[in-house]
Structure 1
Amino acid sequence: MPSNRINTILQNYASWGLASSAKPQLLRQLEGGLTNQSFLLQLADECYVLRLFSPHSQQLNINREAEYRIASIAAQQGLSPQTIYLAPDHSYSISRYLDAELFNHSALSRAEKLQRLAQCLQQLHSIHIDIELPQLIVSEKAQHYWQAIAQLPAAAIYLQYKAPLQQYFKQLPVLAPPVLCHNDLVVENILLGEQGLRLIDWEYAAMGNPYFDLAAVIINQQLNAENEQLFLGSYTKSVDLLALQQAKLQVRYLECLWWLMQSPLNKNFVQQLLQDLLLATGLEGGEFQR
């Protein structure tokens, strides 16, 4: 636990704009989060979350200003905990703590949970955005990741996959118009409490393809065919199956590159992911299959 850094942050609590003269108390570190560290704070009778951002935010192509703006928009729509403060140097943020459990741990039936999640995403994707926000273009995001991967000690092992994969994902159509998307719907980022379903950790959020969010849910929740149909049917009456399949590949692509940057020493695991992706996209040996 980076105690010196946290103590310095807590000493500057007056800048957070909260109507309290009480000094915040550090309660404990919160579980989850491979990129950032989160801590539970208590200030008077309220609890807050301190998120210490990774020093590798730039390497991961994360825009903290955009993240905070999007999280604030989502909070106004009841889709995310209230945002409180973003440090001027973008090193940490403060948000209101939500007493909730992981979506997967809820006692609700699988069907009801999936219906609620579909409705949540439907609401998110329907938000009218009248400010300029980043847009997720998968091949461009991947290019940032590949630049970081090129600095790894065993980069040559992985870079052989770059050209065919980038060529494939660049030629996929970009759905228009883009909508506000979360883009990181892993199980740890979906909470369910008394106030309903909430999404957290908006660092990859951007304008983009709604099918990317749908695909992320299907993959990360490991939905079988029946549950996938239930989830999609709760979201829309008309599913573009080709767009969904392409989005599933896009999700797997970015997740694979992200894992490579996070766990570069697990060579066999990552190589297998890349090889599986080549097969799934119809690529083999660095060339398109005809």
Structure 2
Amino acid sequence: MAKIAWVEACQLDPTLSSLTRFFDVPPAFAETLAGGLTNRCWKIVAPHKGNYVWRPISELTNAFTISRFQEYQILKAIEHDVIGPKAVFINEKGLLVEWIDGDQFNDAEFDLQLKTLVRIHLLDKKRIPVAPFNYTARVDHYWMQLPASVQDEALKVLYQRWRSVPTLEPEELTLCHFDLGPHNLVKTAQGLRVIDWEYAGIADPRLDLAMLLTTEDKLNPAHIARYCQLRDIDTVDAWIEGVTQWSIRVQMLALLWYLLAFHLRGDPIYEQQAIQIKENLCK
């Protein structure tokens, strides 16, 4: 992270200037945070108020259908559960949340990741006033933003085949995080805290579990059965089938995400990831 004087930081990112009324005394400085493509955020150090994270709205958040207002609603709804950061302030430029101090999560503690996912899925979704996640609409949104030069025949076949939800027995929708990797977990004295809720929504929990297991390269029946055990779910075989079906759609979402990221940013690492996923799906 690079420390930058507040005035200079506001020049680099004009959205920071929208916080002038929130801070009675200008912050001492801001730090750029390392993160993903859509998570170009700032740590703000304000001696009289504390430390915060500024999550701006940008062309990239709009391109990936990220709503800071929805993120704010979710964080406010689960605030008393002490699992995510507190949402402090929101305006038309972005979202301000508390900075959570803690230690980096250990990748080896995967069972704790599963328990945290279960904890999220058991939160009372009735308190969260957001529309359910629409998988097909998200896939179509990514697809329509890709240039025609990228939409070759192989990609079109994959898109047409995997743009629909799998045919499964219905499962009660839950709050889903959709990015519960170690990079979004912070170990604190109060327990494990979860950050970066920008992709969160109300959805099929089998999709969220598939997202976690697929991205962590841990997609196997044992981990699905462990999740079911933690939630006292008896239909383990049905869940294994459901998570497996969703895992293919997870890869489809990731493929389009990386292609769109490469289109918007031009970073070859996104293209490389897309090529690898595309090859796997074509098999």
Shorter-chain TM range is 0.7 to 0.9
Unaligned runs of at least 5 residues, structure 2: none
| 1:41 alignment partner in structure 2 | 44
Q: After TM superposition, give the deviation of residue 242 of structure 1 in Å.
A: 0.5
Q: How does 1:158-197 map to 2 (within 5 A)?
A: 160-170=154-164, 172-173=166-167, 175-197=170-192
Q: 2:54 aligns with which of 42, 45, 50?
A: 50
Q: Given the alignment of the two structures, is residue 124 of structure 1 paired with residue 120 of structure 2, yes or no?
A: yes
What is the letter of the counterpart of residue 75 of structure 1? E
Q: Which one-letter code corresponds to 1:40 in the other structure? A: K
Give secondary structure in 2 for the equivalent of 1:259.
Answer: helix
* Partner in structure 2 of residue 84 of structure 1: 88
Which of residues 197, 200, 221 is equivalent to 1:202?
197
In the superposition, the TM-score normalised over structure 1's length comes to: 0.79
Q: Provide the rounded CA distance (Å) in 1 between the counterparts of 2:181 and 2:51.
A: 24
SS in 1 for 2:178: coil
Structure 1: runs of 5 or more not aligned: 280-290
Alignment partner, residue 282 of structure 1 = none
Which region of structure 1 is more displaced relative to structure 2, 195-204 or 126-135? Answer: 126-135
Instruction: Confirm whether residue 243 of structure 1 aligns to residue 242 of structure 2.
Output: yes
Supply the AA of the counterpart residue of 1:155.
V
CA distance in 2, matches of 1:31, 1:207: 27
Shift of 1:84: 0.5
Q: How many residue pairs are counted as aligned between the two chains?
A: 264
What's the secondary structure of 1:192's corresponding residue? strand
Give the C-alpha shift of residue 10 in structure 1: 4.5
Residue 199 to residue 164, structure 1, CA distance change in 2 (3 Å) = same
Closer, same or farther: CA 224–121 of 1 in aligned 2, 3 Å: closer
What's the counterpart of residue 256 of structure 1?
255
Change in Cα spacing, 1:173 to 1:99, as seen in structure 2 (3 Å) is: same
Q: Is the 8 A contact 1:165 1:278 kept in 2?
A: no
Deviation track 1:186-228 (CA, whole Å, cap 9, x = no partner) reads: 3322222222112211121111011122122222333375973
Aligned to 1:69: 73
Structure with higher RCO (Cα < 8 A, 6+ apart):
1
Q: Can you list the C-alpha shifts for 1:46-77, whole angstroms capped at 9, x where unaligned?
A: 11111223322222122222121112223331
SS of structure 1 residue aligned to 2:61? coil
Give 1:177 shift. Answer: 2.7
| 1: CA distance, partners of 2:220 / 2:18 | 52
1:7-44 superposed Cα distances (whole Å, 9 cap, x missing partner): 6635743347xxxx332222421222321311111221
The structure 2 residue matched to 1:156, chosen from 136, 140, 151, is: 151
**Distance of aligned partners of 1:268 and 1:10 in 2 relative to their CA distance in 1, 3 Å threshold:** closer
Distance 1:274 1:100 in 2: 37
Q: Percent identity among equivalent residues?
A: 22
User: How far, CA to CA, are the matches of 1:222 and 1:194 in structure 2?
Assistant: 29
Tell me the residue number matched to 1:285: none
Deviation at 1:142, TM superposition (A): 0.4
Q: Secondary structure at the match of 1:274?
A: helix
**Deviations along 1:110-142, whole A, 9 cap, x unmatched?**
3xx333322322222122233541222222210
- Counterpart code for 1:173: T
TM-score, normalised via structure 2 length = 0.80
Contact 1:68 1:83 in 2 (8 A): yes
Q: Deviations over 1:151-177 (max 9, x none)?
A: 36x3233x6423443334415136333
Using the TM superposition, give the Cα deviation of residue 146 of structure 1 relative to its aligned residue in structure 2, in angstroms. Answer: 0.1
The answer to whether the Cα contact below 8 Å between 1:36 and 1:54 also exists between their aligned partners in 2 is no
The residue that corresponds to 2:27 in the other structure is: 24
Residue 210 of structure 2 contacts residue 219 of structure 2 at CA under 8 Å; is this kept in 1? no
Distance 2:226 2:242 in 1: 16
Q: What is the one-letter code of the residue matched to 1:165?
A: Y
Instruction: Sort the Cα spacing of 1:268 and 1:204 in 2 relative to 1 into closer, same or farther, 3 A.
Output: closer
Contact kept, 8 Å, 2:83 with 2:193, in 1: the verdict is yes
1:47 match: secondary structure: strand
